[in-house]
Amino acid sequence: MSTKLKNLSSYNPELVPDASHLRFGIVVSEWNIDITHALLNAAVKILQKHGVTEDNIEISHVPGSFELTFGARLFAEREDLDSVICLGCVIRGETPHFDFICQSVSHGITELNLEYDIPVVFGVLTTNNLQQAKDRAGGKYGNKGDEAAVTAIKMAVLNEVK
Ligand code: DLZ
């Protein structure tokens, strides 16, 4: 998560390899869709900035963050992608639901990283309120979609040289 010291959109472009030969799947949660689509737009822009063509970005939607793991698994199973980016936004409510969803999706994505041969990136905002989410979806702390896309490129290239 971002802090006052770390803006999600700041990175050194010289440390991001060319990604023109890579293919990405992006799974996006429809819950809090204004936020998740702000993450999606940012992620796509960053991928394209580093050479990824539109044809090499495949996007699928799932109802909520809980379903991101399954959506990412479908991409990972295909074996024609170099990385999968999961984008979601879980906002704390009045019940413990928040904790269950956050725990499930973080655990689920970790499991996918262990089980499949491609990196699956955790681009999920987990915030106490809507304002904190806005601050991290193109607001004062940058955009989690930028961070997720940069991570996906770096991890996909790391996977090539293993
Ligand atoms: C049910 C629910 C709630 C209360 N809050 C969120 C949220 O803040 N962010 C999110 O991505 N999804 C939420 N969901 C939906 C669950 O992720 C899931 O889609 C449903 O529980 C159905 O499995």
In a domain, 137, yes or no: yes
Residue 69: per-residue pLDDT: 98
Number of Cβ atoms within 10 Å of the Cβ of 84:
29
CATH code for the domain in which residue 96 is found:
3.40.50.960
Beta strands in 10-149 (DSSP E): 24-29, 57-62, 83-91, 120-127, 137-139, 142-143
Residue 3: per-residue pLDDT: 61
By most ligand atoms within 8 Å of CB, the mutation choice from 94, 101, 106, 128 for ligand 1 is 101
In a domain, 127, yes or no: yes
Residue 6: per-residue pLDDT: 83
In a domain, 100, yes or no: yes
pLDDT single digits (tens) 143-157: 999 999 999 999 999
In a domain, 69, yes or no: no
Atom number, ligand 1, closest to the C-alpha of residue 91: 8
Residue 96: per-residue pLDDT: 87
In a domain, 130, yes or no: yes
Residue 1: per-residue pLDDT: 58
Residue 50 annotated as catalytic: no
Task: Please work out whether the CB of residue 139 comes within 6 Å of at least one atom of ligand 1.
Answer: no
Q: Return d(Cα 66, Cα 46) in angstroms, integer.
A: 25
By most ligand atoms within 8 Å of CB, the mutation choice from 30, 40, 62, 66 for ligand 1 is 66
Q: Which domain does 124 fall in, by range?
A: 87-162
In a domain, 65, yes or no: no
Place of tokens 């999968």: 84
Strand partners, 88: 124
Place of tokens 């990824």: 52
Task: Please work out whether the CB of residue 97 comes within 6 Å of at least one atom of ligand 1.
Answer: yes
Q: Return d(Cα 121, Cα 91) in angstroms, integer.
A: 19
In a domain, 31, yes or no: no
Q: Return d(Cα 75, Cα 103) in angstroms, integer.
A: 21
> What are the φ and ψ backbone dihedral angles of 72, each rounded to 5 degrees?
-70, -35
pLDDT single digits (tens) 101-130: 999 999 999 999 999 999 999 999 999 999
Task: Please work out whether the CB of residue 63 comes within 6 Å of at least one atom of ligand 1.
Answer: yes
Which burial class, exposed, middle or buried, applies to 9 when counting CB atoms under 10 A from its CB (0-12, 13-18, 19+)?
middle
Q: What is the pLDDT along the chain (162 residues), one digit of tens a residue?
A: 566 668 999 999 999 999 999 999 999 999 999 999 999 999 999 999 999 999 999 999 999 999 999 999 999 999 899 999 999 999 998 888 999 999 999 999 999 999 999 999 999 999 999 999 999 999 999 999 999 999 999 999 999 987
Q: Tell me how many domains the chain contains.
A: 1
In a domain, 152, yes or no: yes
Q: Return d(Cα 98, Cα 82) in angstroms, integer.
A: 30
CA of 75 to the centre of ligand 1 (A): 21
Task: Please work out whether the CB of residue 127 comes within 6 Å of at least one atom of ligand 1.
Answer: no
